[in-house]
Amino acid sequence: MTSELPPEQLLEQVTTALDELATQLAKLPDEAYAKPSSLPGWSTAQLVAHLHSLAQAARRQFENAGAAHLPPMYDGGQVGRIEAINMVALLRPEKLRELVAESLAQLRVVLAGCEAKWEQPVGYRPAAQVADMVYAVWREMLIHATDLDEFVRPAASWPQEFSDHLLRALAARVRAGDRVVVQPHGRQRQVLGNGQRSWVLEGTDYDLAAWFAGRPVSGVVRATKAADSAEFPTLLPWPSDTLMQR
């Protein structure tokens, strides 16, 4: 498994993810906006509005890194975040497409200066630094690209470094008392959790990462306990309020 990436390499990966997402969104037809996305309860318009809101929020975090008074991730907290998403999602597709393109472009510009601020604090999460926010942007861009169209951007398109990071980050979903041994095909295994109830999950690195993220897998992920086929372990909810591992 790859470990935390050097700043220059991570920023290159995130910039590529931003560019690919911007291209994908530019090609999204108007009729797709009203349709359900693969996120339960979210329309495609709401998902695009979320990406716009996330890009704006991340840019503000980077621009104010190290300030005496750090701004919150979203004005109004999670309630304000959802209200803003629902309002923006009501815009006509052409306007929403224009907004998200502009916010992604602005975020891309700000990313270029992040390496110099790498360890400065931000208001994204308690004790978060610029590096943590960059990793969060990477997760949001790649996972939601898959949510927009799992056939155009399946988990199989995720870089190996991203799949490795996602498994580290989502170790927080393993319940207390559980131990999950993740065995990617042809690669070193990774142990998540230290409980007594133990599973082994086998599959490609991207399918294992997708399973932990609650996204569709392209192939087969196999779960075993004591070498016998088993039901998959139950995961905790997505750790949306805590700082994830890099």
pLDDT at 1: 61
Retrieve residue 11's tokens. 């920023």
Task: For residues 46 and 121, state if they share a domain.
Answer: yes
- For 129-172, the pLDDT digits (tens) are 999 999 999 999 999 999 999 889 999 999 999 999 999 999 99
Task: For residues 175 and 96, state if they share a domain.
Answer: no
In a domain, 246, yes or no: no
In which band, very low, low, confident or very high, does the pLDDT at 241 lie, cut at 50, 70 and 90? Answer: confident
In a domain, 45, yes or no: yes
Task: For residues 138 and 169, state if they share a domain.
Answer: no
Task: For residues 81 and 199, state if they share a domain.
Answer: no
Mean pLDDT of the chain: 95
Secondary structure (DSSP) of 29-87: -GGGTTSB-SSTT-BHHHHHHHHHHHHHHHHHHHHTTT-SSPPPSSTTHHHHHHHHHHH
Retrieve residue 10's tokens. 């991570």
In a domain, 236, yes or no: no
pLDDT at 226: 83
Residue 179 scores a pLDDT above 70: yes
- For 47-88, the pLDDT digits (tens) are 999 999 999 999 999 999 999 999 999 999 989 999 999 999
Q: Say which residues have a Cβ less than 8 Å from residue 54's Cβ, sequence separation at least 6.
A: 137, 140
In a domain, 138, yes or no: yes
Number of domains in the chain: 2
Q: What is the mean pLDDT of residues 90-119?
A: 98
Residue 40 scores a pLDDT above 90: no
Residues above pLDDT 70, as percent of the chain: 99
Task: For residues 168 and 214, state if they share a domain.
Answer: yes
Dist CA 58 CA 31 (whole Å): 29
In a domain, 1, yes or no: no
Q: What is the mean pLDDT of residues 175-192?
A: 95
Task: For residues 140 and 169, state if they share a domain.
Answer: no
In a domain, 245, yes or no: no
- For 5-14, the pLDDT digits (tens) are 999 999 999 9
Q: Do 220 and 207 touch, CB atoms closer than 8 A?
A: yes
Residue 227 scores a pLDDT above 70: yes
Nearest to 161 by CA among 50, 47, 3, 12: 3
CATH number reported for the structural domain that contains residue 114 in this entry: 1.20.120.450
Nearest to 133 by CA among 73, 214, 78: 73
pLDDT at 2: 64
Domain that holds residue 133: 7-153
